[in-house]
Structure 1
Amino acid sequence: MDLTGKVAVVTGSGRGLGFAYARALAAAGASVVINDIDQQVVDAAREAVESAGGKAIGVTAAVGTAAAAEELVSAATEYFGRLDVLVTNAGILRDKVLWKMTDDDFDDVVRVHLRGTFTCARAAAVRMREQGEGGRIILIGSPAGQRGNFGQTNYAAAKAGIVAMARTWALELARAQITVNAVVPVAATEMTKTIPAFAPAIEEAERLGVPLPDWMRKQEGLGTAEDAAGLVAFLASDASAAVTGQAIGIGGDRLALWSHPQEKKVDLRDGGWSADEIAAAWRDGVGAQPEAFGIPAPQQPAGH
């Protein structure tokens, strides 16, 4: 991918997946605006990109407000003259089961993930439409948003909303030649290191400096943050001009296209359905094959 001359903003890019995205974009030739809430983290990430030959500036801001979004877009245009790519990666976790989750737990996560994605995408769309040369908006989703996940009411709801926004904005921005897609990454991050089925293999791989085992990379689709970065670079490029409104999974050795919700089975009855009629027909009708929910538990092969 040749992104020479393009300018990208990557929110939450001081470390982890966001840093991997920023580094991949810079390596392909893009100038990158790095963002985090910690100035030292921003500076370290910027220096790392520059030491590898890339072009980057840093903006320390808490994503979620319109002001922060405008600051990021303005930084791109003031330092590099334009904006071509937005990657909305910033996020936080406040995991608790429903009956223990506070209003603040819910609001904080939704503010950063969902509102932050909205405000940043809005600011980017305004700038890209003014430029009149198209653009790329890449939203970061999660398997939790696709399937639900125990203890993540706030996070799953926000990530599901992000994918819905990607589909909506793909329609709204098509005439401006701005593509909008959602990336659904799976990677060995600080969060996945706590999953019992993954923790020993991740710890061993990091300690020995070896790749994660095949069963994790292929069956679970879990690899390094860098494994997810190629998809972001592709979606930022001219090669992805025809790709929009999609939710695309990436992780380890797996690349996947997520299906969009659609009616699975339809039953018709003249005059409509009463509660009793639904109950009588449910088991052998639309309810014959109910949908699964929740992220499947990792299955480590015997002998590992």
Structure 2
Amino acid sequence: MSLDGKAAIVTGAGRGLGLAYAQELARRGASVVVNDVDAEATADAVAAIQTSGGRAVAVVAPVGPTETAKELVSTAVEHFGRLDILVTNAGVLRDTVLWKMSDDDFDTVINVHLRGTFTTVREAVQHMRQAGEGGRIICVGSPTGQRGTFGQTNYAAAKAGIVGMVRTWALELARAGITANTVVPVAATAMTATVPYFAAAVRAEANGEPMPAFFRHDLGFGTADDVAGLVAFLGSDAAASVTGQVIGVGGDRLQIWTHPEAALTAYREGGWTYDALVDAWPSTFAGAAQSVGERFPRLPEEFEPVTS
């Protein structure tokens, strides 16, 4: 099953994961609007797709403003006559602990990730609903949005918010035949290259060597191309029944994340007063308390970062 005749938009597609998504969609037959803020990277991405026999055009603009969303959709319709797939991948980082995070640190990340996803999806589905041929919305999340990460208040809020929006959109768009899903990638990128834990995997990727099995299998950490197949699948007719899902992918691993459910339910006639909670928490509730943050296994000795 191919994507022949389909048209897609991929934001943040100048390099890294976004570029891999755009190239895979084009390989499968889709025409692609490549978006990024870096004009040179965007031009190179379009040229690479065209050189490989695909169709692509560029839109150099930051996501967030409604004007960018309108330009992306109008470009797809003008050049390709339609819009079937939207991948919201654009993002930035401004990492620091809560007490040092500035208003600008917070607002910049929220504007690009959360508002950028909202405005672009809103514009895309307005066109898709009017066209009446369904569509595919694929939003990029993060393990940080699922579990939290030290120093990433802004990023965690944005990525968790994206998941919440996607679940809502899956409900709202079902009658129009438009699916909405979240992809949670775990891959060697510029963002993960600075994490010492992944150094051996990132180094192997940079050197064109096979990534060690510990990373690919045990951690589910791989390359951008390992994620791109899922994005293309979710954009296809084969995934017409898949919606409202949060799907993690990396290396050799694919995961469907659960939606939040109550871990424990207990009742007390008259309600839960302060005194009742003091008495009951250790024996009734403490065992159901949830962990936070990701927990990685200890690195095998051969992959330990070299320190000077």
Do they superpose with TM above 0.5? yes
The Cα of 1:81 is off from its aligned counterpart by 0.5
Question: For residues 26-37 of structure 1, what are the structure 2 equivalents within 5 Å?
Answer: 26-37=26-37
SS of equivalent to 1:284? helix
- Structure 1 ranges of 4+ moved more than 4 A: none
Counterpart amino acid of 2:285?
V
Cα deviation digits, residues 66-100 of structure 1 (max 9, x gap): 11000000000011001000000000000000010
For the 8 Å contact 1:33–1:58, the answer to whether it is kept is: yes
How many Å separate the matches in 1 of 2:81 and 2:20? 24
- For residue 231 of structure 1, what is the aligned residue in structure 2? 230
- Change beyond 3 A, Cα 1:25–1:204: closer
CA distance in 2, matches of 1:205, 1:87: 24
The answer to whether the 8 A contact 2:88-2:139 is kept is yes
Is contact 1:197–1:298 with CA below 8 Å preserved after alignment?
no
> 2:291 matched to 1:292?
yes
TM-superposed CA distance for 1:288, in Å, is 1.7
- Code of the residue aligned with 1:235 in structure 2: it is L
The reply on whether 1:263 has 2:262 as its aligned counterpart is yes
The TM-score, its normalising length taken from structure 1, stands at 0.98
Give, in angstroms, the shift of residue 302 of structure 1: 4.1
Q: Distance in 1 between matches of 2:278 and 2:210?
A: 52
Please tell me the residue identity of whatever aligns with 1:132. Answer: G
Would the aligned equivalents of 1:96 and 1:152 in 2 still touch at CA under 8 Å?
Answer: yes
Corresponding residue for residue 306 of structure 2: none
Letter in 1 for 2:29: G
**Unmatched 5+ residue regions in structure 1?**
none
Question: Which stretch shows the higher mean deviation, 50-59 or 193-202?
Answer: 193-202
**In 2, distance between residues paired with 1:202 and 1:14?**
19
Partner of 2:117: 117
| Structure 2, unpaired ranges of 5+ | 304-308
- Secondary structure at 2:107 match in 1: helix
What is residue 246 of structure 1 aligned with on the other side? 245
Whether the 8 Å contact between 1:13 and 1:36 is mirrored in structure 2 is: yes
The answer to whether the Cα contact below 8 Å between 1:179 and 1:243 also exists between their aligned partners in 2 is yes
Residues 247 and 201 (structure 1 numbering): CA distance in 2 closer, same or farther, change over 3 Å? Answer: closer
Change in CA separation of 1:171 and 1:301 when aligned onto 2, cut-off 3 Å: same
Matches within 5 A, 1:10-49: 10-49=10-49
Name the aligned partner's letter for residue 85 of structure 1: I
The answer for the alignment partner of 1:272 in structure 2 is 271
RMSD: 1.0
Contact 1:69 1:123 in 2 (8 A): yes
Letter in 1 for 2:294: I
Count how many residue pairs are aligned between Structure 1 and Structure 2.
Answer: 303
Change (3 A) 1:64 1:141: same
Q: Within the alignment, does 1:128 sit opposite 2:128 as a pair?
A: yes
Distance in 1 (alpha carbons) for counterparts of 2:81 and 2:59? 16
What TM-score results when the alignment is normalised by the length of structure 2? 0.96
The reply on whether 1:212 has 2:203 as its aligned counterpart is no
Does structure 1 retain, via aligned residues, the 8 Å contact 2:6–2:30?
A: yes
User: 2:91 corresponds to which letter in structure 1?
Assistant: G
**Equivalents in 2 of 1:256, 1:205: separation in Å?**
22
Is contact 2:205-2:223 (8 Å) kept? Answer: no
CA offset at residue 303 of structure 1?
A: 4.4
Q: Which amino acid aligns with 2:242?
A: V
Question: Whole-Å Cα distance in 2 between the matches of residues 30 and 135 of structure 1?
Answer: 13
User: What letter corresponds to residue 256 of structure 1 in structure 2?
Assistant: Q
Instruction: Report percent identity of matched pairs.
Output: 59
In the other structure, the counterpart of 2:173 is 173
Counterparts in 2 of 1:204 and 1:80: CA distance versus 1, 3 Å? closer
Shift, 1:247, TM fit: 0.1
- Deviations along 1:173-221, one digit per CA (max 9) or x if unpaired, are 00000000000000000111111121134214423x2111000001111
